[in-house]
């Protein structure tokens, strides 16, 4: 079976890397050839969230749009079209409409975020909201034969629209994401967060807690991917660095306690659609973490065994204090998290689910046509 995957972002983006790229070889072993065509290239992706680069970004988007139209030739040769969130980053879903409604190709939509919820872009403001065309996701759900969902909340939304929903969490290859060298004792301990410019406000929401804790515990705050030239937290030593794909695993391994705050008051319902992927990454490398139980993070791991939950500032203060003060508990939680990921979030098991969803979409479409699908 030939599958054409249309993604908004190149492999540098987690959604493309972990929802598509890492499945190429496992799917091939299951008789599925996955070809990934991204809307943005790597250079465009680097410039995307730099406000000063918007003229160059606008020109790049125009070129990407022309390139995407050429992908329609590949779509004609595919047995199934897999859309990761959206085929194009702006405007109405023209490409998806041509593929699913005109060419009558089976379509699988992959949603690892609540893209049906509108929000104001921290980079482009209201203009970004207009160009984003948030209403397209409901159309894509309606046109899709199957929707693969990053968590149960997204799946419930999809099911409410009458489309088949299959939950496939975002996972990592545990042979790659694994604990760092044993016997490393960092002094001071490292509290770490790895994210993006759009999720950095979540981390900022617990800065007052971190400042207070710094008066009782010695630690360093490691921030990766915030998109800020400088970050200051009163009383806290901060290491601020840009995200780099070649350093991704190493960055997670360099953390003693992971931070996963989600402020549900920011971006409204969009936060509840987060797939909880950071929790999987922390556990895979054997790092205990504290998370806000919102969206996918509420479903992943075992509270009290692999991680702690915190919502209020007081809960964050107590949870982080407990982990900072107890080395044995950190070690036990980290080990439990590693076991949990291997047992419940293995790459091969999720590849089975994805292959099944792609085949289901092909069979659904062919039943409509009155023909049998043959891979």
User: Is 253 in the same domain as 315?
Assistant: yes
Region 237-262: what's the mean pLDDT? 97
SS (H, E, C) 261-325: CCCCCCCHHHHHHCCCHHHHHHHHCCCCEEECCCHHHHCCCCECCCEEECCCHHHHHHHHHHHHH
- Residue 61 pLDDT: 83
Find where tokens 């499945």 sit: 23
Q: Are residues 359 and 287 in the same domain?
A: no
Q: Is position 182 within any domain?
A: no
CATH of the domain at 44: 3.40.50.2000
Query: Residue 183 domain-assigned?
Result: no
Q: What is the mean pLDDT of residues 197-206?
A: 94
CB-CB contact of 210 with 234 (8 Å): no
**Does any domain span residue 53?**
yes
| Residue 184 placed within a domain | no
User: Which residues touch 130 (CB under 8 Å, ≥6 apart)?
Assistant: none
Maximum Cα–Cα distance across the chain: 70
User: Can you tell me the distance from the alpha carbon of 291 to that of 295, in angstroms, rounded to the nearest whole number?
Assistant: 11
Q: Does residue 268 register a pLDDT over 60?
A: no
Q: What percent of the chain has pLDDT over 70?
A: 90
Based on the structure, what is the number of domains in the chain? 2
84 pLDDT higher than 80: yes
CA distances from 306 to 149, 192, 252, 301, 364 (A): 24, 16, 16, 6, 39
| Residues 109-154 pLDDT 10s | 999 999 998 765 555 454 455 566 778 999 999 999 999 999 999 9
Is residue 81 in some structural domain? yes
Q: What is the pLDDT of residue 354?
A: 98
| One domain for residues 245 and 114 | no
Taking 60 as the threshold, does the pLDDT of residue 364 lie above it? yes
Residues 92, 164: one domain? yes
Closest Cα to residue 107, out of 146, 150, 68?
146
Q: Would residue 180 count as lying in a domain?
A: no
Closest C-alpha to 36, from 69, 77, 64, 8: 8
Tell me the C-alpha distance between 188 and 147, whole Å.
Answer: 45
Query: Are 219 and 327 in contact, with CB atoms under 8 Å apart?
Result: no
Q: Which of 66, 116, 88, 60 is nearest to 272 (CA)?
A: 116
**pLDDT band, very low/low/confident/very high, at 372 (cuts 50, 70, 90):** low
Range of the domain at 86: 2-171+346-369
Same domain, 115 and 246: no
Provide the pLDDT confidence category of residue 365 given band limits of 50, 70 and 90: confident
Decide if 176 is inside a domain.
no
Question: Closest Cα to residue 186, out of 256, 259, 252?
Answer: 256
Give the integer Cα–Cα distance in Å for 134 and 142.
Answer: 14
**Distance between CA atoms of residues 138 and 141, nearest Å:** 5
305 close to 336: Cβ distance less than 8 angstroms:
yes
Tokens of 310: 């915190």
Q: Are residues 205 and 65 in the same domain?
A: no
Residues 38 and 330: their CA atoms lie apart, in Å, by 40
Dihedral sign, Cα of residue 188, residue 226, residue 265, residue 153: negative
Q: Are residues 278 and 148 in the same domain?
A: no
Query: Residue 301's pLDDT band (boundaries 50, 70, 90)?
Result: very high
Same domain membership, residue 307 and residue 196: yes
Same-domain check for residues 134 and 43:
yes
Q: Give backbone dihedrals phi and psi of 237, rounded to 5 degrees, phi first.
A: -75, 125
């Amino acid at each position: 079976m030939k599958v054409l995957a249309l993604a908004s972002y190149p492999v540098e983006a987690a959604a493309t890397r972990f929802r598509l790229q890492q499945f190429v070889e496992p799917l091939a072993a299951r008789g599925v050839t996955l070809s990934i065509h991204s809307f943005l290239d790597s250079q465009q992706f680097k410039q995307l969230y730099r406000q000063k680069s918007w003229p160059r970004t606008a020109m790049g988007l125009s070129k990407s749009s022309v390139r995407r139209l050429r992908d329609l030739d590949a779509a004609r040769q595919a047995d199934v079209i897999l859309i990761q969130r959206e085929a194009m980053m702006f405007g109405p879903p023209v490409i998806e409409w041509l593929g699913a409604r005109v060419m009558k190709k089976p379509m699988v939509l992959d949603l690892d975020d609540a893209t049906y919820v509108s929000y104001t872009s921290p980079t482009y403001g209201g203009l970004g909201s207009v160009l984003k065309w948030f209403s397209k996701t409901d159309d894509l759900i309606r046109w899709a034969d199957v929707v693969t969902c990053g968590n149960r909340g997204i799946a419930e939304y999809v099911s409410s629209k009458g489309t088949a929903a299959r939950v496939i969490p975002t996972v990592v290859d545990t042979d790659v994401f694994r604990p760092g060298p044993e016997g490393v004792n960092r002094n001071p301990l490292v509290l770490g967060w790895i994210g993006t410019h759009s999720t950095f406000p979540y981390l900022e929401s617990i800065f007052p807690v971190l400042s207070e804790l710094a008066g009782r515990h010695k630690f360093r705050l490691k921030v990766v991917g915030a998109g800020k030239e400088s970050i200051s937290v009163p009383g806290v030593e901060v290491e601020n660095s840009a995200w780099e794909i070649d350093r991704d695993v190493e960055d997670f391994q360099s953390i003693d306690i992971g931070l996963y705050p989600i402020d549900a008051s920011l971006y409204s319902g969009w936060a509840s659609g987060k797939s909880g992927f950071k929790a999987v990454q922390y556990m895979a490398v054997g790092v205990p973490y504290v998370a806000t139980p919102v969206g996918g993070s509420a479903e992943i791991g075992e509270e009290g065994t692999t991680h702690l939950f915190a919502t209020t500032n007081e809960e964050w203060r107590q949870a982080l204090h407990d982990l900072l003060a107890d080395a044995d508990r950190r070690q036990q939680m980290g080990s439990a998290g590693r076991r949990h990921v291997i047992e419940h979030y293995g790459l091969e098991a999720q590849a089975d689910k994805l292959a099944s969803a792609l085949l289901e979409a092909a069979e659904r479409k062919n039943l409509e046509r009155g023909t049998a699908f043959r891979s």
